[in-house]
Structure 1
Amino acid sequence: MKILLCSMPDTVPQFSAKTWRAPNLAISSIAGNIQSHHEIALADLILKRKTLLSSIRDIIQDYQPDIVGLSAMTFQFNTAQRIADFIRSSQPNIKIAIGGYHATLMYEEIASSDKGKVFDYIIRGEGETTFREVLDAIEGKQRWENIPGLSYQDNGNFIHNIPRPLENLDTLPLPRRDVRIWNGYLFSGKALDMVETSRGCTMTCNFCSMNQMYGRTFRIYSFERVMLDLTNAKKAGAKYIAFADDNITLNVKRFESLCDAIVAAGHNDLCYIVQASTTGIASSPTLAQKMARAGIQIVFLGIENVSERNLKMMNKGNLLEKTKKAIEYLHNNNILIVGGMILGHPEDKEEDIAQNFEFFDKANIDFYGEQIITPYPKTGMRDILIKEGLVTNSYDYSKYNGFWANVKTKYLSSEDLQFLRWKYKRKYSTFFKTTPVFKTIFPGVNLLRIFILRPYYRIKNFISSLGKTEHDIFKRDMRKFIKTNNFFGPNFK
């Protein structure tokens, strides 16, 4: 059979697709586990945001797949459903499967809705084995009811099979990078790829849906397998590697050994991006040193919030002192920090929003990864916020990406939250200043910013702001962000 696997084009508005275009690791891993007699193609639609529908039409006509698999997160699901409709309208005989976080968490709701009928199969949980067995069933080699983790249509109704146990990572082949249709994955102008060294997290953060996907588990790949994957990514042209691990610092000793293994294998000629907890980074004075030697250049650090009250609500504990130590360790080793910040907790007032940005500013956080708390489906945080009457958008999941305010606080409306996030991000923007670490890591880029980009944008912003109030500028910016993931136009059906 011919199999086409697609990831969605939707991005979070504050992370521009011009500078961050990452391949989807899930579909690459599924491709690596498909039987060799099938023909496979991978289409990362983030590479075709400006020509989405025509690109899908062309690839369907040229490739003529027998089955299309779509992978989507919650905020991308609406796009996946509309793409499925688009494919179905011209090629009604193509089988269509949907997988990913949203399909796993919301399979019953999808199956019971009219819009969900466009999908033949719902792949729940990890998809490597389930999707392979779906192909076997299509070929008559497997019985549908015997495939764990699958929901499938039978006479117009979905049948939900039992859940599938978690994958044994020791048995998974490497992801397939050689079957990607398009090129153009990048970060900051350099070729980017994704690698994972572990899956899962045992933490109890109630704003995260990870436990619904993997349970409270932590599974690891062998270092030998990770080094082979890095070699494979380098052969595909990668210069930057983003580790997709859910919590790579959960086992700090292992992470330190992983850094040593990267150096020993000669893979520290790559630049790495990881996401990490403040607790993990702060727990070892040698970890950041080893990270720097391994080539880790950027860390998305889960600072989350500087309020003890809010951290307690998120089941995070009091992390402020650990956060300060983690920032010190990373910056002392010239590692850039993207600070994760979550705003919009039930008791938040404007001063609480300001307090977080002021902390990031004084701590010289290099980039801000601020989000407004989002009531993701099936999370404990959603239950709390709904019970308190603070969820203002319950079901338009296209806005569930951390950028848009889907909640209010006891003191601030959704509109207030959206405005205040914009106001303080604009006030403390790192684009118009240079942190010491940024100056060290990117001296050439820094000079470009100082002498060309900043003067240009300052003049442009000044001219465009003449005669406008702060709220006028805010509304203008929001209109621009609303268009970020508008691929279909008003006449699309």
Structure 2
Amino acid sequence: MKILLMSMPDCAPHFNAKRWKAPNLAISSIAGNIDGHDVYIADLILRRERIADTVRELIAKYCPDVVGLTAMSFQFSTARRIASLIKTINNNIKTVLGGYHVTLMYREISESEEAAPFDFFIRGEGDLSFNELLEAISGKRIMESVPGLSFRKGDGFIHNSPRSLEDLAKIKIPDRSKRIWKGYQYYGFKLDIVESSRGCVMPCNFCSMDKMYGKTFRRYSVDRILSDISNAKQAGANFIIFSDDNFTLDIKGFESLCDAIADAGHNDIRYIIQASSTGIASSDTLAEKMARAGFRIVFLGIENVSEENLRRMKKGNIIEKTKLAVKRLHEHNIMIVGGMIIGNPNDKEEDIARNYEFFVDLQIDFFADQILTPYPKTGMRDELLNDGLITNTSDYSRYNCFWANIKTNYLGPEELQFLRWKYNKKYASYICTTPAFIKNYPLAYYYRQYFRRPFLRLKNRLFNNNFSEMELYKRDMAGAEAMNTFF
């Protein structure tokens, strides 16, 4: 059969798709674990401008028998529309939906009209189950024998038993050769995605990761990770993001991997990881090994400066650990993207402002300032529902940490949205001026400081002086609204 795998074009407005175009690791992994079929990968992040035409062209060119789509919660609406378009082109094409959203919400989706364009759901890890589904479609096994599969029968769906977590040793590396387009990039670097582990055992109640993997942690072998890095480099990557949920759950394993990357000569490219303050702070040798291995950016889960909010998020009082983690990373010129979550139940404007001030005091290099989002099936969602603080319970297209879907006890959703914009603008000139950024990118710093910023100030004086703050805010929000309008 001919198999077409698609990832969605939707991006969060604060991650500019012009500068950040990442391949989808899940469908690349599925492609690497399909046997005996022709497989094509279409990452629609590379074709955001003309989605409907692109889908028609893909169907006409590759004539797929099966189309697999993967979607997070905020991408589900787009996936459903693409599946509907595919069915209007050729109703005989089998459509399969996988990813986080359907894993969490398969019952609700299957019992609503939203399920109409889908023939199958894959719940949980799809690396191996997608190939088993193809065997069932080909008549080599029965549908009921595929764990984690939901399939259409009559007017409803049959939901097979959940799938056990995969033995990672059985998962082959992604097949990047099946990608039909090029252009993955991160600020001019050629970008790819690799993973070294799956799962997280931390108790954070705003995260839905445990609904995919449970409270577990599994690591690939070092040899497999090195092979994956080598394969990504052969595909052209000189910048790799590790997709691991928390890279610092196994510090000794992480340090050993750093040594192996350096010893294998894979420290000739740059890496980004996501880590916890507690993990980074727990070792006085880790940051040095990371720097030697080529790790240049860490997304650090700082979240908030308020002890009350950290307790509510079940992060614990990590403020001093955060300070130590930042110190250790910066000592080795590793830049930090600081994860910040605002919009907690008792937040007032001064509480939000204090988070930005805290980040500046720590010389955090980039802000990932997000509004608390009540993701489906999370403990935080239940708490916010009980407190009557969720203002948007069902339009998941806005669940991307940019839009305010909640209120606080003191701020409405529109006020919360405005305050994120206000303080993001206030500190825009601070970004890319930190010592770590200057040491990593001196030319970029001088370009921004002495050319781009003066140009933008002149542009603002010429074109924006006649606009009020609220008018500028509304203009920016209108642009953000239009960013993911594809149909």
Q: Residue in 1 aligned with 2:213?
A: 214
TM-score under structure 1 length normalisation: 0.98
Q: Residue in 1 aligned with 2:453?
A: 454
Contact kept, 8 Å, 2:6 with 2:69, in 1: the verdict is: yes
Q: Residue in 2 aligned with 1:474?
A: 473
SS of the residue aligned with 1:88? Answer: helix
Letter in 2 for 1:350: E
Q: Residue in 1 aligned with 2:5?
A: 5
Partners of 2:395 and 2:286 in 1: CA distance: 41
Partners of 1:219 and 1:317 in 2: CA distance: 24
Q: Residue in 2 aligned with 1:108?
A: 107
Letter in 1 for 2:7: S
Residue by residue over 1:310-352, the C-alpha shift from the partner in whole angstroms, topping out at 9 and shown as x without a partner, is 0000011001000111111111110111000000000100010
SS of the residue aligned with 2:256? Answer: helix
Ranges in structure 2 where 5+ consecutive residues have no aligned partner: none
Contact kept, 8 Å, 1:103 with 1:110, in 2: the verdict is: yes
Q: Residue in 1 aligned with 2:248?
A: 249
Partners of 1:182 and 1:198 in 2: CA distance: 27
Q: Residue in 2 aligned with 1:24?
A: 24
Partners of 1:445 and 1:468 in 2: CA distance: 30
Q: Residue in 1 aligned with 2:167?
A: 168
Structure 1 residues 69-80: aligned runs within 5 Å? 69-80=68-79
Shift of 1:468: 2.0
Letter in 1 for 2:309: N
Residue by residue over 1:202-226, the C-alpha shift from the partner in whole angstroms, topping out at 9 and shown as x without a partner, is 1110000001110000001000000
Shift of 1:465: 2.2
Q: Residue in 1 aligned with 2:98?
A: 99
Contact kept, 8 Å, 1:4 with 1:67, in 2: the verdict is: yes
Q: Residue in 2 aligned with 1:312?
A: 311
Q: Residue in 2 aligned with 1:491?
A: none
Shift of 1:463: 2.7
Shift of 1:145: 1.0
Shift of 1:56: 1.2
Letter in 2 for 1:339: G
Q: Does structure 1 residue 395 correspond to structure 2 residue 398?
A: no
Q: Does structure 1 residue 187 correspond to structure 2 residue 186?
A: yes
Q: Residue in 2 aligned with 1:229?
A: 228
Partners of 2:391 and 2:32 in 1: CA distance: 41
Contact kept, 8 Å, 1:339 with 1:368, in 2: the verdict is: yes
Partners of 1:238 and 1:361 in 2: CA distance: 32
Contact kept, 8 Å, 1:366 with 1:430, in 2: the verdict is: no
Shift of 1:467: 2.3
Shift of 1:451: 2.3
Partners of 2:234 and 2:384 in 1: CA distance: 47
Partners of 1:433 and 1:172 in 2: CA distance: 39
Shift of 1:453: 1.3
Shift of 1:433: 5.7
Q: Residue in 2 aligned with 1:15?
A: 15
Structure 1 residues 253-292: aligned runs within 5 Å? 253-292=252-291
Partners of 1:131 and 1:433 in 2: CA distance: 43
Contact kept, 8 Å, 2:366 with 2:431, in 1: the verdict is: no
Count of matched residue positions in the alignment of Structure 1 and Structure 2: 487
Partners of 2:13 and 2:28 in 1: CA distance: 25
SS of the residue aligned with 1:115? Answer: helix
Partners of 1:63 and 1:168 in 2: CA distance: 32
Q: Residue in 1 aligned with 2:40?
A: 41
Residue by residue over 1:382-432, the C-alpha shift from the partner in whole angstroms, topping out at 9 and shown as x without a partner, is 000000000000000000000000000000000110011111111112566
Residue by residue over 1:444-489, the C-alpha shift from the partner in whole angstroms, topping out at 9 and shown as x without a partner, is 111221222111212222333222221111111111111110111x
Contact kept, 8 Å, 2:28 with 2:175, in 1: the verdict is: yes
Partners of 2:463 and 2:421 in 1: CA distance: 17
Contact kept, 8 Å, 1:223 with 1:261, in 2: the verdict is: yes
Q: Does structure 1 residue 360 correspond to structure 2 residue 359?
A: yes
Contact kept, 8 Å, 1:27 with 1:71, in 2: the verdict is: yes
Contact kept, 8 Å, 2:418 with 2:473, in 1: the verdict is: yes
SS of the residue aligned with 1:118? Answer: coil
Partners of 1:433 and 1:317 in 2: CA distance: 30
SS of the residue aligned with 2:385? Answer: helix
Partners of 2:461 and 2:432 in 1: CA distance: 17
Percentage of identical aligned residues:
58
Partners of 2:472 and 2:462 in 1: CA distance: 12
Q: Residue in 2 aligned with 1:66?
A: 65
Partners of 1:424 and 1:464 in 2: CA distance: 21
Partners of 1:116 and 1:157 in 2: CA distance: 9
Letter in 1 for 2:453: R
Does the C-alpha gap of structure 1 residues 328 and 4 become closer, same or farther in structure 2, counting only changes over 3 Å?
same
Q: Does structure 1 residue 119 correspond to structure 2 residue 115?
A: no
Does the C-alpha gap of structure 1 residues 6 and 175 become closer, same or farther in structure 2, counting only changes over 3 Å?
same
Partners of 1:27 and 1:206 in 2: CA distance: 28
Shift of 1:113: 0.8
Ranges in structure 1 where 5+ consecutive residues have no aligned partner: 489-493
Partners of 1:158 and 1:464 in 2: CA distance: 56
Does the C-alpha gap of structure 1 residues 441 and 250 become closer, same or farther in structure 2, counting only changes over 3 Å?
same
SS of the residue aligned with 2:404? Answer: coil
Contact kept, 8 Å, 2:366 with 2:432, in 1: the verdict is: no
Contact kept, 8 Å, 2:148 with 2:162, in 1: the verdict is: yes
Partners of 2:278 and 2:365 in 1: CA distance: 19
SS of the residue aligned with 2:177? Answer: coil
User: Which stretch shifts more, 423-432 or 245-254?
Assistant: 423-432
Runs of 4+ in 1 over 3 A off after TM superposition: 430-433
Letter in 1 for 2:437: F
Partners of 1:456 and 1:81 in 2: CA distance: 43
SS of the residue aligned with 1:128? Answer: coil
SS of the residue aligned with 1:178? Answer: helix
Residue by residue over 1:91-122, the C-alpha shift from the partner in whole angstroms, topping out at 9 and shown as x without a partner, is 11100000000010000011011121210000
Contact kept, 8 Å, 2:242 with 2:272, in 1: the verdict is: yes
SS of the residue aligned with 1:69? Answer: strand
Contact kept, 8 Å, 2:205 with 2:378, in 1: the verdict is: yes
Contact kept, 8 Å, 2:432 with 2:445, in 1: the verdict is: no
Structure 1 residues 150-165: aligned runs within 5 Å? 150-165=149-164
Residue by residue over 1:261-283, the C-alpha shift from the partner in whole angstroms, topping out at 9 and shown as x without a partner, is 10011100010010110000111
SS of the residue aligned with 1:275? Answer: strand
Letter in 2 for 1:86: L
SS of the residue aligned with 1:148? Answer: coil
Letter in 1 for 2:263: A
Q: Residue in 2 aligned with 1:302?
A: 301
Partners of 2:282 and 2:432 in 1: CA distance: 30
SS of the residue aligned with 2:116? Answer: helix
Contact kept, 8 Å, 2:21 with 2:45, in 1: the verdict is: yes
Q: Residue in 1 aligned with 2:413?
A: 414
Contact kept, 8 Å, 1:367 with 1:430, in 2: the verdict is: no
